[in-house]
Amino acid sequence: MRSLVLFLVQYGGVALFFLLEAVCLYLVVNYNQKQEEIWLNSSNIISGTILNFRSDISQYYNLSEFADSLAADNARLKARLNNAQFVQTILMDSIKDVEKQQQFTYIAARVVNSTIHLHNNTFTIDRGSKHGIQPHMGVIDSNPGGGIVGIVTNVSENYSVVMALLHQEIKVPAALSRNKYHGFLSWQPSNPKKINLIDVPKHAEIRRKDTVETSTHSALFPAGIPVGIVDTFWQDPGSNFHTISAKLINDLGNVQYVYVVNNLMKGEIVKLEEEASGE
């Protein structure tokens, strides 16, 4: 009992001080009109700060619009890269005249619908004929590591449907980046993370971890975009070709932004090849 009294004498002052100051503050705010108003106003300032914070968050949601404009910017910049240019270099005597002409332009688009678990998968993107998209245009991923998405098949005014890389009918020329041996990308409905490179010549030297990239044979994609990493390869009995199973560089399950590739010289190539085969 004595020690309790001593304890109270020693520390009770501090406790009582805080308690009574709290009581005083309560009295001040509740029984004095001016202070009450100031108190309420200050509370409003605090709630105002919270509301501001909330609007900051809603701005965050507007970020998607912002991202759209950035994607469009990217498309413009991508079109200025080297692999989007057709090099018109002419060697004449010893004068080297380097001239470049625009070959590829890009249209940024957002994926609005996609499937990856069906046998024939498609993507729907929010750009259409109004924005310059035509069937048989290539679609690449916005993923900085590379990766392609598929080929445009149907176009409406505002939307386009893309035959995904994960489609049984897909056939995109591709090559090994190390030695440039060609083949075709083809997909068997099994694993949405893997793709096959078929028709690779038998004598091609293949190693695991080789990169598969888009080739110069394709009129739909600029050359040199990484597509996958070689995982396994084999030779079917009686066949003269290797089949390579590669792991896709991009995950088609979470593609958000894509670029539709517009090859300005495709018409010329197609026309020429038709003429040649018609002869």
Partner 1 sequence: MNSSIIKNGIRFVLLVLAQILIFKSIDLDTNGFSYFTIFFYPIFILLLPIRTPTVLVVFLGFILGLTVDVFYDSLGVHAGASVFSAFIRSTILNVLEPRGGYEVNASPTKSNYGINFFFRYAAIFMFFHILVYFSLEIFTPVYFNEIFIRTGFSFILSLLFVIIFQYLFNPKE
CB of 17 to partner 1, least distance (A): 4
Place of tokens 């057709």: 86
Residue 15 in tokens: 């406790």
Residues 3-32 touching partner 1, rule: CB under 8 A, are 8-9, 12-14, 16-17, 20-21, 23-29, 31-32
CB of 26 to partner 1, least distance (A): 7
CB of 19 to partner 1, least distance (A): 9
**Shorter beta-carbon distance to partner 1: residue 26 or 86:** 26
Stretch that binds partner 1, among 34-42, 160-168, 201-209, 234-242 (CB under 8 A): 34-42
Across-strand partners of 244?
197, 233
Instruction: For residue 39, state whether it binds partner 1 (rule: CB under 8 A).
Output: yes
What distance in Å separates the CA atoms of residue 82 and residue 63, rounded to the nearest whole number? 30
| Cα-based angle 57, 43, 52 (whole degrees, multiple of 5) | 15
**Shorter beta-carbon distance to partner 1: residue 8 or 81:** 8
Residues 170-209 touching partner 1, rule: CB under 8 A, are none
Instruction: For residue 40, state whether it binds partner 1 (rule: CB under 8 A).
Output: no
Among 40, 42, 112, 236, binds partner 1 (CB under 8 A): 42
User: Contacts by 228-234 with C-beta closer than 8 Å and gap 24+?
Assistant: 228/194, 228/195, 228/197, 230/176, 230/197, 230/206, 231/194, 232/208, 233/200, 233/206
**Shorter beta-carbon distance to partner 1: residue 21 or 274:** 21
Among 1, 2, 4, 35, binds partner 1 (CB under 8 A): 35
CB of 54 to partner 1, least distance (A): 25
Instruction: For residue 95, state whether it binds partner 1 (rule: CB under 8 A).
Output: no
CB of 49 to partner 1, least distance (A): 16
Dump the DSSP string for 134-178.
-TT-EEEE--TT--EEEEEEEE-SS-EEEEEEEETT--EEEEETT
| Dihedral sign for Cα atoms in the order 30, 35, 39, 41 | positive
**Terminus-to-terminus CA distance in the chain, angstroms?**
117
Residue ranges binding partner 1 (CB under 8 A): 8-9, 12-14, 16-17, 20-21, 23-29, 31-32, 34-35, 38-39, 42
